[in-house]
Amino acid sequence: MSSETRRIAGIISTVIFAVIVVIGFTLAPTTEADRVVAIGNRIMCPVCQGESISTSPSETARAMLDVVADKVAAGESDEEIITYFVASYGEAILLDPPFAGKTLVVWLLPIPIVILGAWMAVSRLHRSVPIPDPTRERERAGPITGGER
């Protein structure tokens, strides 16, 4: 088997395994405990700085996680539970701000910053690499004489 064939076989097998993993995660049945943790990971602890209620050790976070567990057991959807906490605490309770209104700046600002950074890097690279001038190269080499070989 040539190296090109092995490389293509490796790429194909990687893609197949990736598809299997993605399908496994999307079709795998989630338990109520998994849902509670997933929802808790989206809600910020009001006591701890930037930590979710799923990972926070505070009593407030434990109580909020218990409320999430009760609502999951009652059959409420993830969005209904999130809406309940947003109504109680405001949008600041969400670890990931929604893609709307004031938070559009948070979501869209990295795009021009990355473009500006790439432009600066490329322009700096162009300035640091001198472009050879053919006339100067000829002047430095001296006159060309026919007798030298």
Task: Give me the domain span that covers residue 88.
Answer: 31-140
Tell me the two tokens of residue 149: 């070989």
Q: Are 57 and 114 in the same domain?
A: yes
CATH code for the domain in which residue 44 is found:
1.10.8.640
Question: Can you tell me the mean pLDDT for 105-112?
Answer: 82
Q: Are 86 and 53 in the same domain?
A: yes
Q: Tokens 């990295």 — which residue?
A: 110
Q: Are 24 and 36 in the same domain?
A: no
Q: Are 16 and 54 in the same domain?
A: no
Contact criterion met (CB below 8 Å) for 127 and 119: no
Report how far apart, in Å, the C-alpha atoms of 8 and of each of 4, 12, 30 are: 6, 6, 35
- In the prediction, which pLDDT does 129 show? 58
Q: Are 82 and 135 in the same domain?
A: yes
Residues 136 and 125: their CA atoms lie apart, in Å, by 22
Q: Is pLDDT at 108 greater than 60 in this prediction?
A: yes
Q: Are 71 and 14 in the same domain?
A: no
Does residue 148 sit within a domain? no
Does residue 9 sit within a domain? yes
- In the prediction, which pLDDT does 26 show? 73
Average pLDDT, the chain: 83
Report how far apart, in Å, the C-alpha atoms of 119 and of each of 14, 123, 129 are: 34, 6, 16
Q: Tokens 């795009």 — which residue?
A: 111
Phi, psi at 76, each rounded to 5°: -75, 150
pTM of this prediction? 0.52
- In the prediction, which pLDDT does 3 show? 82
Q: Are 52 and 6 in the same domain?
A: no
